[in-house]
Structure 1
Amino acid sequence: MAETTPAASLIDDELLARIRSRAATHDRDNTFPTDDLSELAAVGYLRMFTPESLGGLGFGLARVAREQTRLATAAPATALAINMHLVWTGVAKVLLDRGDDSLAWVLTDAANGEIFAFGNSEAGNDLVLFGSNTVAEPLADGGYRFTGRKIFTSLSPVWTRLGVFGRDDTDPEAPLLVHAFLDREAEGVTTIADWNTLAMRASQSNTTVLEGAVAPASRVFRRLPAGPSADPLIFGIFANFEILLAAVYTGISQRAIELAVEAAHRRTSMKAGGRPYAHDPDIRWKVAEAGIAHDGILPQIEALAGDVDALVQHGPAWFPKLVGLKVRATESARFVVDQALRVSGGSALYASSELGRLYRDVVAGIFHPSDGESAHSTVANALLGPIPE
């Protein structure tokens, strides 16, 4: 299936091909795609969300999601890693669009080449953004000292700003969740090179250990009550995280269909007198099922991202919509890749197979927040109401 560059995409066909040519090596060697990041930065990828007035490209979430889907067709782990930078800059834009300039400096920093990473995930923390195992200790000057262990810190080799949060129990009756940014050179920040995984290897999402790492007062941007919050920050994180994740996994889905189509035309059947498998009714059914599943996700991403850009007020309905999209996109991508594997035959089992790599990468989708259990709980509460205590 021939590829064409979408209108006005930052990633032209030549850049896409170069990124794809490096993906297998980074996966095999478990290395970070430094060249990908450099080339993408050169075309403005890291400053997509920054308004033109601040030195950026002024893109909205719908446009950024389309770019991420295209990038993920070539290198899913590169796209997933860059997602974390885009989440933070997307959050800053969501807030700015709604009259909150508390993270406007993030957009300016991104335009100046700073790279933001997401340091919120913690092992065993199923409260996600509503609780934390990390200790946030207030300092006299308004700064905070953070002590804890953050997992899945994508962009570990290159980030310069790390968004973190922790729990301040100064008042045990009213604990606070404190959100701040740490600089890479801050004392007490250590990266553990423990990322040797089944999937998304090039993302280099290593563990980050915080041992009294200090965020100055100027980098502390939220102190929220522990538990669910209606603060726009929480909406901004959920909206960007879930929609951009859906975009990445939909890119995997798109590439899997391209590979399935190529295989169906390339492979021939001795039983059918040498005719290509593309003429076999069973193979055609599998490819069609994959195409139907894939096509259903694209308009959902576009619609929800467009609503974020247009400041549409869905109120409490935003969260079931967002988690539902993430689950549908990641599960649909797994189904599509599985169908493509069946179409492609045993060659996909080889370590050199691109489709085999996609089969591994797509599995990571089940682990990103919101996971299936959390998402179903969110939607059940929206439809049925919470379970009485």
Structure 2
Amino acid sequence: MHSDSTSVIDDELLTRIRSRAAVYDRENRFFDDDLAELRQAGYLGMLAPVELGGLGFGLERVAREQTRLATAAPATALAVNMHLVWTGVAKVLRDRGDTSLEWVLADAARGELFAFGNSEAGNDLVLFGSTTRAEPLPDGGYAFTGRKIFTSLAPAWTRLGVFGLDDSDPAAPLLVHAFLERESPESAIPGVETLDDWDTLAMRASQSRTTVLSGAVARPGRVFRRLPAGPSADPLIFGIFASFEILLAAVYTGIAQRAVELAVEAAHRRTSLKYGGRPYAHDPDIRWKVAEAGILHDGLPPQIAALARDVDELAPHGAAWFPKLVGLKVRATETAREVVDQALRVSGGSAIASSSELGRLYRDVVAGIFHPSDGESAHSTVANALLGPVPE
């Protein structure tokens, strides 16, 4: 375990979080204790400015914190990512002169927990279309009806970001973005049902359950965007994309980092009769595998830091932002899978035991292929950037 005296998560807290990860996974249980300690440490307000009660970090620093957290508990880090994405969006907008979500930063600094209620089964338009209906109300609020999947933080959120399609004017349909609010995780909200349906191979502690909306009302002050259906150049889309892809890459890089550490430990722990009882760390084939894992992982943190810094510093990448972001996500998630695979080969058959940390990482890392942007979408984005779109 690498010590980091400058981190929000000190070594003692990281050790406690790591000690709970296997239990949460085995019991398919939400990470309540992790969340309580992270909230107490100010983790939820990292991206909020100091004047609003936060820690005043940029995306580069937060990505580094998330990598560190993921070395101990990938599912905890992945779920907390959703909160940090919303605060990242609010910061991206604020840094560019748009204070429409400044209240998100203030709420986060006070310990409110933000979750994403955007994903929908079969919606490959992602942010550019929705199967959820958004019905305009006379007071300017909206009622949302639809089914949202992969709602990480489902048992604990107090603010849920949702979006849906307002087709009350068929000639000009709108995608409406808003937040639903509840006073506490135990509070019932009319029209919101959280299903207890999360029992998965990977990222079990995230408890990313299905949320069913049946006329759930967002009040007027929490409706923050009404965009034309289809692709949009609105800064909100950039903010979501940039924060999501960078922080996601950070989490899977943490998995890769921990896998390298476990491979090193295994190479020194295991001994070989073939080599006279010496540790496998002396075996040239094992050394190659450990080195391969290290080489693969080593390229990721600098890429994440550089792109996150560009977001913080308002770099003028223009249309090149999206290929850069999807490329980072795909490289990080796919590389992490390769690193974990090499670590498994080094560790031997004990890694498939249900109690094995590396076996859990092997399950958790596979979730990376399902997050947006998936491989097909990412390659399409980069191909269009390099070759231009295919003529219709």
TM band (smaller chain): over 0.9
Aligned to 1:57: 55
**CA positional deviation for 1:313:** 1.1
Which of 274, 288, 293 pairs up with 1:290? 293
Say which is worse superposed, 24-33 or 181-190, in terms of deviation: 181-190
Mapping of 1:143-292 within 5 angstroms? 143-184=141-182, 185-292=188-295
Paired letter, 1:4: S
**CA positional deviation for 1:186:** 2.9
In structure 1, stretches of 5+ residues that fail to align are none
**CA positional deviation for 1:354:** 0.2
SS in 1 for 2:299: helix
Q: Find out whether 1:386 has 2:385 as its counterpart.
A: no
Mapping of 1:1-389 within 5 angstroms? 2-5=1-4, 7-184=5-182, 185-389=188-392
Quote the Cα distance in structure 1 between the aligned partners of 2:336 and 2:213.
Answer: 35
Quote the Cα distance in structure 2 between the aligned partners of 1:320 and 1:223.
Answer: 26
**CA positional deviation for 1:113:** 1.4
Paired letter, 2:221: S
SS in 1 for 2:337: helix
**CA positional deviation for 1:346:** 0.2
SS in 1 for 2:144: strand
TM-score by length of 2: 0.98
**CA positional deviation for 1:316:** 0.7
TM-score by length of 1: 0.99
Quote the Cα distance in structure 2 between the aligned partners of 1:93 and 1:359.
Answer: 33
**CA positional deviation for 1:174:** 1.6
Quote the Cα distance in structure 2 between the aligned partners of 1:170 and 1:186.
Answer: 25
Paired letter, 1:117: A
Count of residue pairs the alignment pairs up: 387
**CA positional deviation for 1:183:** 1.2
Paired letter, 1:118: F
Runs of 4+ in 1 over 3 A off after TM superposition: none
**CA positional deviation for 1:286:** 0.6
**CA positional deviation for 1:93:** 0.5
Quote the Cα distance in structure 2 between the aligned partners of 1:63 and 1:376.
Answer: 28
Quote the Cα distance in structure 1 between the aligned partners of 2:191 and 2:40.
Answer: 32
Paired letter, 1:206: R
Quote the Cα distance in structure 1 between the aligned partners of 2:3 and 2:270.
Answer: 24
Quote the RMSD (CA, aligned, Å).
0.7
SS in 2 for 1:167: strand
Paired letter, 1:94: V
Q: Deviations over 1:268-288 (max 9, x none)?
A: 100110011101111111111
**CA positional deviation for 1:175:** 1.0
Paired letter, 2:100: S
**CA positional deviation for 1:140:** 1.1
Quote the Cα distance in structure 1 between the aligned partners of 2:332 and 2:290.
Answer: 18
Determine what percentage of the aligned residue pairs are the same residue: 81
Quote the Cα distance in structure 2 between the aligned partners of 1:136 and 1:88.
Answer: 20
Quote the Cα distance in structure 2 between the aligned partners of 1:271 and 1:290.
Answer: 24
**CA positional deviation for 1:171:** 1.7
Quote the Cα distance in structure 1 between the aligned partners of 2:111 and 2:13.
Answer: 20
SS in 1 for 2:18: helix
Q: Deviations over 1:364-386 (max 9, x none)?
A: 00000000000001001111111
Quote the Cα distance in structure 2 between the aligned partners of 1:381 and 1:171.
Answer: 32
